[in-house]
A and B are shown apart, each in its own frame.
Chain A
């Protein structure tokens, strides 16, 4: 079965600093990988996804993620964080199940942005 590990429960950065959120996955085949963001009191929004091809994926809001098969990782990055990026970030892996690719979510990383 597939699984996702987000080792950091909380990450604190200063506004304008760079950001990297870690994600490791476990899946036997080529995974479908995703990052979602959840602002307080909101539903989840898809930031970016990786299926195949270029291992550096660009997403919305200036985020990018890099797929590294050798490390089973799919870390999320942003060069300069804004206060509005404070939110919960979920990495997910989607495994094919009966024609669907229901994402399995990691436990989430809470991003705190200091002014």
Chain B
């Protein structure tokens, strides 16, 4: 299984809502990543988890809260988002943090904040 799955595929939320994005992989990878991608732009790194611990936070606003409950699962909790947070949110994994150059990406969650 070389797949990274993300749910939901689409999410529409108001600025006062709380929602969560979910990412799952069963490849035994020990590094997982969240990216934000705006239309016609490259992905921007948000967070990196290495061995289930947060290792990189690219100065992301606190309204985004990542969580890694176990080595297969990565969540992104969303609260009080702004319309400019609307984007495609991509999850990725790599075998180890040292092999972060070879990441496997999920299809993404298309988030719209109204």
Partners in one complex: yes
A103 to B104 alpha-carbon distance, docked (Å): 12
B97 touches A43 (CB 8 A): no
A45 to B4 alpha-carbon distance, docked (Å): 11
Q: Does A107 contact B (CB under 8 A)?
A: yes
Which chain B positions have C-beta within 8 A of A43?
4, 90, 92, 105-108
Which chain A positions have C-beta within 8 A of B50?
100
Knowing A43-B92, A90-B42, A108-B40 are in contact, say whether A49-B102 is a contact too (CB < 8 A).
yes
Knowing A43-B90, A108-B40 are in contact, say whether A103-B107 is a contact too (CB < 8 A).
no
Which chain B positions have C-beta within 8 A of A106?
42
Q: Mark A18-48, 1 if CB is under 8 A from B, else 0.
A: 0000000000000010100000011111100
A106 to B41 alpha-carbon distance, docked (Å): 9
Which chain A positions have C-beta within 8 A of B103?
44, 46, 103
A108 to B38 alpha-carbon distance, docked (Å): 12
A108: nearest residue on chain B (CB-CB)? B42
By size class, the interface of chain A is 20 to 34
Q: Does B48 contact A (CB under 8 A)?
A: yes
Question: Which of B42, B99, B100, B105 touches A45 (beta carbons < 8 Å)?
Answer: B105
B102 touches A46 (CB 8 A): yes
- Which A residues are closer than 8 A to B by beta carbons? 32, 34, 41-46, 49, 90, 94, 98-103, 105-108, 110
- Which B residues are closer than 8 A to A by beta carbons? 4, 31, 40-43, 45, 48, 50, 55-56, 90, 92, 97-108
What 7 additional pairs, Cβ within 8 angstroms, besides A43-B4, A99-B97? A44-B43, A98-B55, A100-B55, A100-B98, A102-B45, A103-B101, A103-B103
